[in-house]
Structure 1
Amino acid sequence: MRSEGAVLYRHLPGDVTPGTLERLLWVVVVLALIADVATTFVGLELGLSESNPAARGAIEGYGVAGMLTLKAFAVSVGLVCRPLLERPYRPIVPAGLAVPWLVAAALNTYIILTVL
């Protein structure tokens, strides 16, 4: 059996196009980034510590600027790699950035609420 040239596309529900989905996910990336950074620094002000060694080093060395530089680097890697994907699969890039940051913000919020 040969599958050369075969492409399987999944259709999104309704009239959502991959381009529309990608734009929406980039908005989620920005919101997730803000939520992660904000909850991280609230936690640090409450005496909690950063568990990610790379983020901890950036924060200890450069504060908020270090954390934002780290986030900017991650977004830059995503933007550089994005054109390597076919158009229908490009929303995976912002999703791959947003999901971990949303999870981190949710965990940070939970931990902050347990401390208060």
Structure 2
Amino acid sequence: MSSDGADAHLRVDFPLDIEPARLERLLWVLVGLSLVGDVVTTFVGLHLGLAESNPVARSAIDGYGLAGMLALKAFAIGVGLVCRPLLPRVYRPIVPAGLALPWTVAVVINLALITAVAGVGV
């Protein structure tokens, strides 16, 4: 197969080919959604008899309930916001990505456990 230089000017637009500022805004929205999802699914799971696996979060919840969990989340966001200006603009989306990724994974795991315990879909 020969390309004959035809693809030399081919431009592929990838879904994440967006400016860093817009990407960062979208990731902050994901942070908010994943934070709410994590808090809600955690407390639903606890209500169903599941246990919090993160020892720091477990301690905060055991000691202060929802306020403890929200304080923990606020602290994490605060650290991210304090560190954000230390990064060049192009790398700033890594801050919300670093917050949203584990919380989104936690939501998925929580939903799977809740589904298994509650017998949803069985």
Shift of 1:89: 0.4
Shift of 1:31: 0.2
Structure 1 runs of 4+ aligned residues shifted over 6 Å read: none
TM-score (norm 1): 0.87
Gaps of 5+ in 1: 1-10
Paired position in structure 2 for 1:6:
none
Shift of 1:84: 0.7
Work out the percentage of aligned pairs sharing the same amino acid: 67
The whole-number CA distance in structure 2 between the counterparts of 1:54 and 1:106 is: 20
Shift of 1:25: 0.4
Shift of 1:29: 0.1
Gaps of 5+ in 2: 1-13
Shift of 1:69: 0.2
Paired position in structure 1 for 2:9:
none
Paired position in structure 2 for 1:18:
20
Matched AA of 1:101: W
Paired position in structure 1 for 2:95:
93
Matches within 5 A, 1:1-116: 13=17, 16-116=18-118
TM-score (norm 2): 0.83
The whole-number CA distance in structure 2 between the counterparts of 1:55 and 1:26 is: 22
The alignment partner of 2:63 has SS state of helix
Q: CA RMSD in A?
A: 1.1
Shift of 1:30: 0.3
The whole-number CA distance in structure 2 between the counterparts of 1:23 and 1:108 is: 26
Paired position in structure 2 for 1:5:
none
